[in-house]
Amino acid sequence: METLSRPSDHIDSAPQRDAKIVNPNLGVVGWLRWFWRQLTSMRTALLLLLLLAIAAVPGSLVPQRSSDPNGVSQYFADYKDTAPILDQFQMFDVYTSAWFSAIYLLLFISLIGCVLPRTKHHIEALQAQPPVTPANLVRLPAYAQLTIAGKSAEEVLEAARKVLKADRYRVARYDRAAGGTGKLKSEAAITVSAERGYMRETGNLIFHFALVGVLIAVGFGGGFGFAGQRAIYEGQAFTNSLIAFDSFNPGRFFNSANLTPYTIQLDKFTAVYEEKNSNAIGQPVDFTAEVTTQIQGEAPQQQTIKVNEPLRIAGTDVYLLGNGYAPTITVRDAEGNVVFTDSVNFLPQDKNLTSLGVIKLPDGLAEQVGLIGFFYPTVSEGHSGAYFSMYPDLIDPRLTLDVYAGDLGLDEGIPRSVYALDTADMTKLAGRKAPQKSLEFSIGETVELPNGLGSVTFDGVKRFVSLDIHRDPTQGWVLVFSLSALAGLLISLFIPRRRMWVSVTENSDGSVTAECAGLARGDDPTLDTAVNALKDKLERALGLTRD
Amino acid sequence: MTDTLSEYSVLALYSAMAIYAIAFVLFTLDLAKGASGDPVAGAEAQKVVVPERRKLARVAMALTVIGFALQFAATLMRGVAASRVPWANMYEFAMTGTLIIVAVFLLVNLKWDMKFLGSFVTGLVLLLLGLAATRYYVEIVPLPPALQSYWLVIHVFVATLATGFFALGFALSLMQLLQTKRELAVAAKEKTRLAFLTRLPDSVQLENYAYRLIIIGFVLWTFTLIAGAIWAEKAWGRYWGWDTKEVWTFIIWTIYAGYIHARSTRGWRGTRSAWLAMIGFAAVIFNFTVVNIFFKGLHAYSGL
Ligand code: HEM
């Protein structure tokens, strides 16, 4: 009996003699063919799948550059000896490493090599008739029989054909002449052969092709998209252009001409913290950013962004990833002229939002001055006299500034982070271990800078948010292929594929005997039930049921 | 209000555990009784013995249903007290997860007689609940903004449901391995200490059961993976980032895909595929315990 197209080591394929596989005189073509057979065998697919699972493990044990770059730096600091060795093996980039890629690429080549011939075979099977009825139905795994009086063989067969059709079987008729000799002589029979569940194979093929689709969509997606970050404080606006991002990671094929210009202004940011539940005082409950967006040439729109509710605008997605405080600070020189006034984003250092920020004043004062500030939304004093924040909301805000004077190192053309101050060439004028204590402010206060440099005023506090702006043009495709895979999987795992036969023979007493038999193709827990159901339906169709 | 409700919830949970403990003892006694009734090795080679009416097992089953009802009440009260779904931290995961394992067990028993898995199920559930209640109990706290999403409801629930099916698949595969061992011993007319398996289905039947439950689990897990990616895209701005938890979800999915393939690969159906099913569930448990507790990653804030 012809089988489904399956790799030769599939459990339903006829075993082959392994001795013949490796033949020293194969020649190049022979070897290639042998290699291909091995690559597209079930065993290889299985081993590659298991290998892939194992290869994914190290990425969860060692920090990855893609998801946790700080963790990687920390790892290098903590394990000075082993980290470079691990790096040699791409252990910090497991999922883009040569070895991980090799495994999944081989797996997908194997998959394609396996699935293509099966697709061809399946398309042919979809057009073919069900196979000839086997001679001896009793031997099949599921079998039922009934004897009917008062109906002709043709009537019974026609009823069987209709029942099978109604159950969505594809049906063909094959008649068998009496055969054999002596005792083994079989009677003449008229039969129908039926098959159903072609969708099982279709589903399986859809599933495997969809996986290829996912891989391709994921592979290309990274290439055409981009990801950028930008922090803005209340009242500040951001324009979607390359220079406006604090950091920007374009995909390999990304073209900045594709950036649709739009602006996002942060109108208001609201954070709600738990106040009642004594087990969770100060735990964030809600973050909402109210923004005004405007696409060039269109009317401005008021919108909100929440943690689980990104803003979709002009083909990009804008996510609310972080937030913090931006104290507004004004610096005046000795004569009282304003040399700096702005809100400065301070980075949160703990869950009560003790925040750290830096202000650089290259011009306007007698010397270059750098300020390192700590901001405490609700200040409290520890035993050692050090301040800390005891609640994330603004209840008793306090700002402290350490003052450095000297060379900010901005003139050498080396890019400097706005969040870090290089104090190598500077003298500390105020702060710990300096001639004078840190400058300390409540809102609205002004404090003199050391050495008569001028003064600093703490005008107030705004909230800032950090936004992630992404574009991934293929992520919709990834979703479509994933859902197709799921659908294919459901079809292929739960639709049984089976063959059924009904053979009708005339008995010498004028009655006829109908034999029903079934054969599963693939896992089919309900075969017996189906054969008995067929028999029952046949009885009913012939009007024979007693009830 | 919240406080009293969550106290009742704890009370109900401890009662459920006490009842499961009794059920566990009865289920185990029932298995052991099977051993004493075992015919002399070799006499009855591989026959499938239809489970006769077993009183102990039936009582144990009834107790499991009562335990389930109590645990369901406990979980419900926890959810009401927190006014959200009761699966937002380790303690709650354990509570809801084991509840679902028991539910799947009871459900499957409506279709096939699987009382012989009762020891395993009540034992596992007791162990997990015991750990969770003593080591990971936390008071009710509100959800952080990143978890406030209906995807928490869908994604986590389906993942837990899949776990229930994988758990039974694991138990059946374990039984299958032992049964295979017993069948070989019986065929070789050797003595075996596995006589208690005589009344269980034969190894092929056990494997078929395991397969059918695991493919359901696999479909649910595939859905979990996709739903997780959709949620990650909403919350973190990317659908896949090889975060620790994502890595392990992927690993588990791949192992079970391997298992399904193994079932269709000559030389792998039977004992080897059973091992894969067991490794798969070991990875599930690892993901739920070790990864949650010791590995850092974005999912870490789901809280212990
Ligand atoms: C990314 C890699 C792969 C994954 C995740 C995967 C997964 C699966 C799953 C889940 C099934 C069962 C559901 C269904 O029938 O649709 C399956 C079936 C099957 N796969 Fe794959 N597969 C992969 C690669 C391959 C490769 C490389 C081959 C060929 C060598 C292959 C051949 C088959 C066959 C023949 C079946 C049907 C088994 C049966 O007769 O029931 N697969 N695969």
Is the pLDDT at B298 greater than 60, yes or no? no
Check CB contact under 8 Å for A46 and B254.
no
What pLDDT shows up at residue A138? 87
- What's the pLDDT tens digit per position in A201-237? 999 999 999 999 999 998 877 678 888 889 999 999 9
Is the pLDDT at B19 greater than 80, yes or no? yes
Q: Looking at chain B, which residue has its C-alpha nearest residue A479?
A: B226
Check CB contact under 8 Å for A53 and B212.
no
Q: How far apart are CA A231 and CA A248, in angstroms?
A: 13
| For range A377-394, the mean pLDDT | 89
Residues of chain B positioned with their CB less than 8 A from the CB of A279:
138-141
Query: Which residue among B212, B222, B263 places its CB closest to the CB of A486?
Result: B222
Helix (H) or strand (E) holding A406: strand A398-406
| For range A125-140, the mean pLDDT | 89
Our CA-based measurement puts residue B92 at a distance from the nearest CA of chain A, in whole angstroms, of 16
How high is the ipTM of this complex? 0.88
What's the B277 CA to ligand 1 centre distance in angstroms? 16
Our CA-based measurement puts residue A33 at a distance from the nearest CA of chain B, in whole angstroms, of 21
Phi, psi of A455 (to 5 degrees): -145, 160
Q: Which of A316, A327, A162, A145 is nearest to A227 (CA)?
A: A316
A338-343 vs A347-348, strand pairing mode: unpaired
- With a pLDDT cut of 70, the percent of chain A lying above it is 94
What pLDDT shows up at residue A456? 94
- What's the pLDDT tens digit per position in B137-158? 877 777 777 777 888 889 989 9
Nearest CA to ligand 1 atom 4: B257
A297 vs A261, A266, A294, B15, CA distance in Å? 10, 20, 8, 66
Q: Are B19 and B66 in contact (CB under 8 A)?
A: yes
Our CA-based measurement puts residue B258 at a distance from the nearest CA of chain A, in whole angstroms, of 5
Query: Which residue among A53, A66, A486 places its CB closest to the CB of B226?
Result: A486
Q: Looking at chain A, which residue has its C-alpha nearest residue B272?
A: A46
Our CA-based measurement puts residue A382 at a distance from the nearest CA of chain B, in whole angstroms, of 27
| For range B66-86, the mean pLDDT | 91
| For range B76-90, the mean pLDDT | 85
Residues of chain B positioned with their CB less than 8 A from the CB of A3:
none
Most confident of A315-319, B194-198, B286-290: A315-319
Per 3-state DSSP, chain A is made up of helix, strand and coil in percentages (nearest 5) of 35, 35, 35
Q: Are A52 and A107 in contact (CB under 8 A)?
A: yes
Q: What amino acid is encoded at B3 in this protein? A: D
Going by pLDDT thresholds of 50, 70 and 90, the confidence category of residue A65 is confident
| B143 or A112, which is more confident | A112
Phi, psi of A399 (to 5 degrees): -125, 135
Please give the structure tokens belonging to residue A229.
Answer: 């970050």
Check CB contact under 8 Å for B237 and A319.
yes
Check CB contact under 8 Å for A483 and B211.
no
What pLDDT shows up at residue A69? 78
- What's the pLDDT tens digit per position in A172-202? 999 888 776 666 666 778 999 999 999 999 9
What pLDDT shows up at residue A407? 86
Top residue of B151, B265, B291 to mutate, by most chain A CBs within 10 Å, is: B265
Our CA-based measurement puts residue A503 at a distance from the nearest CA of chain B, in whole angstroms, of 30
Most confident of A21-25, A272-276, A342-346: A342-346
What pLDDT shows up at residue A370? 92
Going by pLDDT thresholds of 50, 70 and 90, the confidence category of residue A302 is very high
Burial class from Cβ neighbours inside 10 Å (0-12, 13-18, 19+) for residue A25 reads exposed
- What's the pLDDT tens digit per position in A443-494? 999 999 998 899 999 999 999 999 988 888 888 899 999 999 999 999 999 9
* DSSP 3-state of A506: strand
- With a pLDDT cut of 90, the percent of chain B lying above it is 50
Is the pLDDT at A356 greater than 60, yes or no? yes
Check CB contact under 8 Å for B266 and A50.
no
Residues of chain B positioned with their CB less than 8 A from the CB of A59:
242, 247
Q: Are B179 and B197 in contact (CB under 8 A)?
A: yes
Query: Which residue among A53, A64, A489 places its CB closest to the CB of B258?
Result: A53
Check CB contact under 8 Å for A285 and B145.
yes
C-alpha A220, offset from chain centre: 14
Mutate to test the pocket of ligand 1, among B261, B268, B276 (most ligand atoms within 8 A of CB): B261
Q: Are B242 and A64 in contact (CB under 8 A)?
A: yes
What pLDDT shows up at residue B44? 44
Q: How far apart are CA B88 and CA B303, in angstroms?
A: 7
Going by pLDDT thresholds of 50, 70 and 90, the confidence category of residue B49 is very low
* DSSP state, residue A440: E
Q: Report B:198-217 residues touching A (Cβ under 8 A).
A: 208, 211-212, 215
Mutate to test the pocket of ligand 1, among A35, A204, A490, A521 (most ligand atoms within 8 A of CB): A204
- With a pLDDT cut of 70, the percent of chain B lying above it is 89
Please give the structure tokens belonging to residue A416.
Answer: 């400097």
- What's the pLDDT tens digit per position in A527-544? 889 999 999 999 998 887
Going by pLDDT thresholds of 50, 70 and 90, the confidence category of residue B120 is very high
- What's the pLDDT tens digit per position in A415-446? 667 778 888 888 999 988 888 899 999 999 99
| For range A141-166, the mean pLDDT | 91
- What's the pLDDT tens digit per position in B201-251? 889 999 999 999 999 999 999 999 999 999 888 888 788 888 888 999 999
Residues of chain B positioned with their CB less than 8 A from the CB of A46:
258, 261-262, 265, 268
What pLDDT shows up at residue A474? 85
Query: Which residue among A277, A308, A479 places its CB closest to the CB of B234?
Result: A308
What pLDDT shows up at residue A144? 92
As a whole number of angstroms, the longest Cα–Cα distance in chain A is 127
C-alpha A447, offset from chain centre: 52
- What's the pLDDT tens digit per position in A308-338? 888 998 888 899 988 999 999 999 999 989 9
What pLDDT shows up at residue A253? 81
Q: Are A179 and A185 in contact (CB under 8 A)?
A: yes
Top residue of A4, A49, A287 to mutate, by most chain B CBs within 10 Å, is: A49
- What's the pLDDT tens digit per position in A277-297? 777 788 888 899 999 999 888
What's the A208 CA to ligand 1 centre distance in angstroms? 7
Check CB contact under 8 Å for B267 and A43.
yes
Is B247's Cβ below 8 Å from some Cβ in A?
Answer: yes
Is B59's Cβ below 8 Å from some Cβ in A?
Answer: no
Is the pLDDT at B45 greater than 50, yes or no? no
Is B278's Cβ below 8 Å from some Cβ in A?
Answer: no
Check CB contact under 8 Å for B211 and A523.
yes
What pLDDT shows up at residue A254? 82
Is the pLDDT at A108 greater than 60, yes or no? yes
pTM for the whole structure: 0.86
What pLDDT shows up at residue B47? 44
| For range A133-162, the mean pLDDT | 90
- Among A20-24, A167-171, A226-230, A317-321, the range scoring the smallest mean pLDDT is A20-24
* DSSP state, residue B291: I
Nearby residues of A325 by Cβ (< 8 Å), 6 or more positions away:
A346, A348, A353, A355, A375, A377, A394, A461, A462, A463, A464
Is the pLDDT at B37 greater than 60, yes or no? no
Our CA-based measurement puts residue A506 at a distance from the nearest CA of chain B, in whole angstroms, of 38
Is the pLDDT at A399 greater than 50, yes or no? yes
